[in-house]
Structure 1
Amino acid sequence: MIEIKVCPSTLAEGFDSYSPSARNVLFDGKIVSPYLTEPSPSTDSVEAKEIFQSVGRISLSGVQPKFAVVIGENLRLRYAQKGEQGTYILKPRPNAYHILNKDYCAANEHLTMQIASQVYGIETAANGLCFFGNDEPAYITRRFDIHATGKYQQEDFAALMGYTKANGGSEYKYCNASYEECAEIIRLHVKAAAIDILHFFKLVIFNFISLNDDAHLKNFSLINKNGEYRLSPAYDLINTSLHLVQPRIFALDKGLLKEGMSLSDTHQTGRTDFEEFGKRIGLPEKVIKREIDRFTKENPLIDKLINHSFLSDNLKKQYRMSTDYRRKMLIF
């Protein structure tokens, strides 16, 4: 069994399980074990195959399997059965042949989400890691669209723009819009648009410096609470450069601006592009400068979180180097 020395949610030192603050956010204070008794989807056994025949699989988006999970009677996380409402999403190790460093996808997503939340104050879905019996880690996140009596209405930006595979092509999530046009969706549907457009601006900058080039239209959404739409907490944040042979600069083909950008060379993207993006989506110049400056500054907490993460030593180095490089691109 893997030895835990930091909280597998907050990455705080001195914990062999979820810390009290993590339990409050993830499990409403319940003392839930980070060790799963359920089999990993990669387990090749008759017992595992029988279990997965009745498991409530949510979807397979791209190459990442997702499973609905609930807290069982013994305070252990377990797969939701068909017809049972899962309150958590479990993302185990992907199996696609073209994904590099598959064993560390969960640790990467967890670290990236924690940096977004702890360092930059970006609202994220509550998240952590848990571990199968073979020590394989899985990413777990609490569903923010579920409440005590049902579900909140949630619409991703692809749906809000009216794009589907049928009318937008197989790459409809990537090729039909820019982040500027995403901001227009917020302005159209959100009453407190000025607040959420600023949140969106921060998230787009964070995706750039963290090399999350999978921030496509379905990875942004609006959620309707109390009859009013707001930008959903951030989800699916990951440094894709650790897993893809040919990472992109932006997930959306057009990049930041609605007329598109020249994205053949990463050196062509920098501070002035984000300043122009901020102006176009209606942010004051002083706010744009303040936020970009905040993302360019070194922060010792980033290094601390990387060091405490469940990435390998080599991937910690790659993560640190890649994000430092992108951060410095925003200085000039």
Structure 2
Amino acid sequence: MATNLYSADVLFKGKLAGILEQTVTGGTRFTYGDGWTGDIACCFPATQREHNWANGLHPFFQHLGPEGWLREKQARGAHIQDEQNDFALLLAYGEDCIGAVGIRASEEADIPKVEEGAPTPGKTLSGVQKKLLVVKDGDGFVAAGRDGPAPYIAKFNSEAREGLVRNEFLSLQWAAKILGKNEVTQFKTGHFGEEIALIVSRFDRTEKGEKLRLEDFAQVLVKPRGVNYDGKYGSSYEEVARVIREHSARPVIDLDKLFRRLVVFAALANCDAHLKNFSLLETPEGLRLSPVYDVLNTAIYDDLDRNFGLSILGRSRNLEELNGTLFRKFGAEIGLHERAVELALGDLKKQIGKNPINAPSGEPPNGFVSRFEEVVRNQCLRLFEE
């Protein structure tokens, strides 16, 4: 691999939009190409032709890269000794990323050599959980190759966490019942070899495989990922609401959606609703809040943090602090009318009453779904029975 400073083409929907390069001072610079007029991201307005970042890779591009299990596998597959080398990982795997932006080496010599059998060459996605971009293959799914589309994400169980696939399936299923089917990403279970996986349909690709612009809120807010990938937690739900006000084509509607989602996340005891789990998605009317994704009942795992994902009303909040009074104050804080807040809470309470979580017949009281249901029931009592 070349020892000179990296340089890469930045692609937007497969077309050359500009150049990303390392600087001699240890930062990076993104420059729009001559004649390119549209924004490729909220943090890169095209009216400003050059965008500099002083230290390392710009956060927008950092958040395109993998985390956790996939990062380790892709670094090993491309002989990248330093797993923290975000730029090298994107040169090896970043031509097809989540959303519409991709990275392609400007010179052949700059590309880390990817071994045959490395996971999804030329493609990558972010997230700590064990996951892969996959395609349908008969009755099951296989890893996506370098060429062709990758319309699904497969998410797998972990030895460290009981029933991750079952947990997320139940969480998404219940969220879809409460919020509405169209508010949640499409999902199902399927087989990847001998493993059972949660199969999520990508909403950043059309049925024809065309790329749609998608930016998570860590990218929009230009939050560095951090050495321990904790940058996505360094924010507040008020800041999430501000992004919606500034960038959504329908901010009033999307603020209402945000409010309802946060109440449902509180009901599910989903304490991992960080910045990367909210995104703006390209639609015919402009950028809109994307469907719900990456939802998990985290309180079922005793060793995980029980604080809500981001701060709310000025500080971090434990699950036990999340109640109707707090959310009414939050709704007012982000500019929702009192009638809209009460309507949302009334709608959610009604749907929750219609859609109880029921453990399978014969499951013992300490069974997985029984414990899941108990957590949700206790949370709903705090939220709606004041």
Residue in structure 2 matching 1:260, options 293, 315, 318: 315
Identity of aligned pairs, percent? 28
| CA contact 2:140–2:190 (8 Å) conserved in 1 | no
Larger RCO (CA within 8 A; separation ≥ 6): 1
Partner of 1:219: 277
Partner of 1:80: 144
Partner of 1:186: 244
Local SS of the residue matching 1:141: strand
Partner of 1:90: 154
Deviations 1:256-296 (A, max 9, x none): 22x325x3x54433211100111111212122122223434
Deviations 1:228-247 (A, max 9, x none): 10000110011112235133
More helix by proportion, 1 or 2? Answer: 1
Residue in structure 2 matching 1:196, options 234, 254, 258: 254
5+ residue gaps, structure 2, are 1-69, 71-114
Partner of 1:22: none
Q: 1:277 and 2:322 equivalent?
A: no
Deviations 1:108-150 (A, max 9, x none): 101111111123326111001113564x421000000012152
What is the one-letter code of the residue matched to 1:237? Answer: V
| CA contact 2:141–2:193 (8 Å) conserved in 1 | no
| CA contact 2:249–2:285 (8 Å) conserved in 1 | no
| CA contact 1:119–1:302 (8 Å) conserved in 2 | no
Partner of 1:161: 221
Q: TM-score, normalised by structure 1?
A: 0.72
- Distance in 2 separating the partners of 1:199 and 1:311: 36
5+ residue gaps, structure 1, are 1-40, 42-49
| CA contact 1:107–1:137 (8 Å) conserved in 2 | no
- Distance in 2 separating the partners of 1:319 and 1:89: 24
Partner of 1:65: 130
| CA contact 2:140–2:193 (8 Å) conserved in 1 | no
What is the one-letter code of the residue matched to 2:299? Answer: S
What is the one-letter code of the residue matched to 1:233? Answer: P
| CA contact 2:184–2:293 (8 Å) conserved in 1 | yes
Q: 1:80 to 1:195 in 2, by over 3 A?
A: same
What is the one-letter code of the residue matched to 2:356? Answer: I
- Distance in 2 separating the partners of 1:155 and 1:59: 12
Local SS of the residue matching 2:148: coil
Q: 1:266 to 1:53 in 2, by over 3 A?
A: closer
Partner of 1:24: none
1:271-310 to 2 correspondences below 5 Å: 271-297=324-350, 298-304=352-358, 307=360
- Distance in 1 separating the partners of 2:263 and 2:292: 13
Residue in structure 2 matching 1:174, options 217, 220, 233: 233
CA RMSD in angstroms, aligned pairs only:
2.8
What is the one-letter code of the residue matched to 1:71? Answer: K
Local SS of the residue matching 1:90: strand
Q: 1:137 to 1:196 in 2, by over 3 A?
A: same
Aligned length: 267
Residue in structure 2 matching 1:248, options 287, 301, 306: 306
- Distance in 2 separating the partners of 1:312 and 1:128: 26
- Distance in 2 separating the partners of 1:307 and 1:300: 18
Q: 1:100 and 2:161 equivalent?
A: yes
Q: TM-score, normalised by structure 2?
A: 0.63
